[in-house]
A and B are shown apart, each in its own frame.
Chain A
Amino acid sequence: MNRWATGLWVGFLFSIPLWMTDQYYLHILIVAGIFIIAAMSLNLLLGYTGQLSLGHVAFFGIGGYTSALVSLGFDLELTDSYTFVFPAQPVWIAFLAGIVVAGFFGWLIGKISFKVRGAYFVIVTISFAEVVRLVALNWIDLTEGPMALNNIPPFTLGVPGLWELTFWRKIPNYYLVLVTCILSYVVIARLVGSRLGRAMIALRENEPLAASVGVDVTRSLVLAAVVSAAIAGAAGGLYTHYIRIIDPDVFLFIYTVTMVIMVVTGGKGTLAGPIVGGLIFGILPEALREVASPEMQWVIYGVLMILIVYFLPDGIVPAVSSWWKERFDAPPKTGEERA
């Protein structure tokens, strides 16, 4: 995509709340946007380093829970006589804390998996997500377990007492998600277009060769895992303060699967892939709700997914961009196609 197309596209996204007055549609877009952010973060690991994280929702949930807890405040009875009390913090601080804590767990996973690749990496990440889910379910002192954390404050900006902006309504939340989405995109785009991103791609393409020319593959994987987890944590924070309730169901495997579907159908290893996949599979279930019975919705969802994977095995974005290239006489290459 050239500059003009990108500008038009972003302008269009910014204009949506101006003409789309139905709050329900806006809600769908907000949730889809949050999932797109998560899918973009997964794409960094899956698409660029080639490592499939099937526990990606763990980072999303960790970001969400951390952000919720920091914004609500909590106390922990550490010994009989001492209770650690953590006072409630402004939501934007909580949101940043969620990103940092999720990033830390990404670092941990990257370090643990310094030697595991392929199926073993998948197992490490699935186990990690399951452990985190069990902790969230059973550490009732902290997380309220299945009773869920509720009354989570909506997103706010500013300093309490001086000036505060609270995101109660759909429109500000839409813009919040959109801006986070764009920031995540820029972070990922700059990263994968740099020498560090090339090292990740090298790890995906040919690990021994990458190591032989001096690429520290472990470091590349850890870096990708940290950035990926942090962005997933940001998505989790947005989700928490938008829905305003979080329970251990946020760690369900189906959410990871949804992200993987978005990345794979859109085109893994392309910048636009998760956005296209995320728009299709984020909006489709809601769109179908109006025209099909619940069983048919899932059938259509599944059939569409199989069709895409069958006919466009590399995903929608690579297929469209190669079609475009053939059709319009090889325009200059963009970074996206090269990656």
Chain B
Amino acid sequence: MSAAPRSREVVLDIDRLTIGFGGLVALANVSFDVYEGEIASLIGPNGAGKTTAFNAITGFLSVSGDSIRYRGKRLNGLRPNQIADLGVVRTFQKTSVFAANTVTDNIMIGLHRHAGARLWEILLARPRVRDEESRLRAQAGEILEMMGLSAHAEELGGALPYGEQRLLEVAVALAAKPTLLLLDEPVSGMNPSETARFMAMLGRIRAGGITILLVEHDMRMVMGVSDRVIVLNQGAIIAEGAPEEIQRNPEVIRAYLGHGADKRRASKREAGRA
């Protein structure tokens, strides 16, 4: 049931990734690919291993071996900042901004990788440093503009309303100029109109040449934006394909979307047997 890759290039190559915590197997021999320029979604019930996979890909969980490759480069064993240097940047499931910094400064921190002023230049206040600062500030302004956060530029990150904080998170990640953006439940807690706006935003981000891997529970959003959906359940991939295929896949329905009356009865019967 592998989805048609449309002859596109594989950028993220997960090959037999296995992660255990003590006796618990979080991911067992998981393999999947993400293709250049697509929006792929990783879905599955709670505890399926989605965030674990994110942590492994972005270096927050150290995994030995050679199971994660990005554009041919091995990510296993690299630290998060080294992985960000290769263009893989993530957001976090729990809202995560620099709360005591202004929104602009949040973005400026995100732009860290794209500034090159050296210590001695900074201490001597070389003109280059000031030029770079104003260049970064202008870039930060553009990113805020694109994310619709310009009005909040001088507010503290932690003082923003929830929905705006979630946008700021994505803006900070975008500031690092990723080529692959991993979003961990970006719209959780957003209201439907905010979610709709966010979906439009994703389209724009993708149009900017950024590949997106999404973990999300909001099925309307997942089915609306994804080119391809990968379904994890209990640490293993149970299905992979276009959103329409996934919606029809009986195994997925059983594992995750099990709302049909007969299914519910079936699962009750199963539960009774257990």
Q: A338 contacts the other chain (Cβ, under 8 Å)?
A: yes
A337 to chain B, nearest CB (A): 10
Are A214 and B81 in contact, with the CB atoms below 8 A? yes
By beta carbon, the residue of chain B nearest A205 is: B98
Residue A190 at the chain B interface, CB threshold 8 Å = yes
B contacts with A, residue count (CB < 8 A): 40
Residues of B contacting A214 in the complex (Cβ-Cβ under 8 angstroms): 81, 84-85, 89, 112-113, 176
B108 within 8 A of A: yes
Interface contact B112-A195, CB-CB below 8 Å: yes
Number of interface residues of A (CB under 8 A): 25
Interface of A is mostly: helix
Nearest CB on B from A164, distance (A)? 28
Contact of A212 among B117, B136, B173 (CB under 8 A): B173
Residue B240 CB within 8 A of the other chain: no
Given contacts A195-B112, A199-B109, A202-B109, contact A211 B122 (CB under 8 A): no
Contact of A198 with B108 in the complex, beta carbons under 8 Å: yes
Whether B113 lies near A213 (C-beta < 8 A) is yes
Q: Point out the residues of chain A lying under 8 angstroms from B89, CB to CB.
A: 212-214
B residues in contact with A205, CB < 8 Å: 98-101
Select which of B96, B112, B133, B172 is within 8 A of A199 by beta carbon.
B112
A216 lies within 8 A of chain B by Cβ: yes
**B236 close to A (CB within 8 Å):** no
- Is A159 an interface position by the 8 A CB rule? no
Contact B101 A211 (CB under 8 A): no
Chain A: minimal CB distance from B54 (Å) = 10
Distance from A82 Cβ to chain B, minimum over Cβ atoms (Å) = 39
Instruction: For B256, list chain A residues within 8 Å (CB).
Output: none
Query: Is A187's beta carbon under 8 Å from chain B?
Result: yes
B79 touches A194 (CB 8 A): no
- Contact status A208-B92, CB under 8 Å: yes
Identify which of B99, B122, B133, B136 contacts A191 (C-beta below 8 A).
B122
Q: Which one of A195, A209, A215 lies within 8 Å of B96 (CB-CB)?
A: A209
User: Would B117 and A211 count as touching, CB distance under 8 A?
Assistant: no
Closest to B94 in A: A208
The answer to whether A213 touches B112, judged by C-beta atoms less than 8 angstroms apart, is yes
Residues of A contacting B90 in the complex (Cβ-Cβ under 8 angstroms):
212
Residues of A within 8 A of B (CB): 187, 190-191, 194-196, 198-199, 201-202, 205-206, 208-217, 223, 333, 338
List of 7 A-B pairs having minimum Cβ-Cβ separation, nearest first: A214-B84, A214-B113, A211-B80, A213-B176, A195-B115, A194-B122, A205-B98
A sample of 7 cross-chain residue pairs with beta-carbon separation below 8 angstroms, ordered by A number, consists of A194-B129, A195-B136, A206-B97, A206-B98, A209-B96, A211-B60, A212-B84
Q: Give me 6 other A-B pairs in contact (C-beta within 8 A), A198-B108, A213-B175, A338-B102 excluded.
A: A190-B123, A201-B98, A205-B101, A211-B79, A214-B113, A338-B101
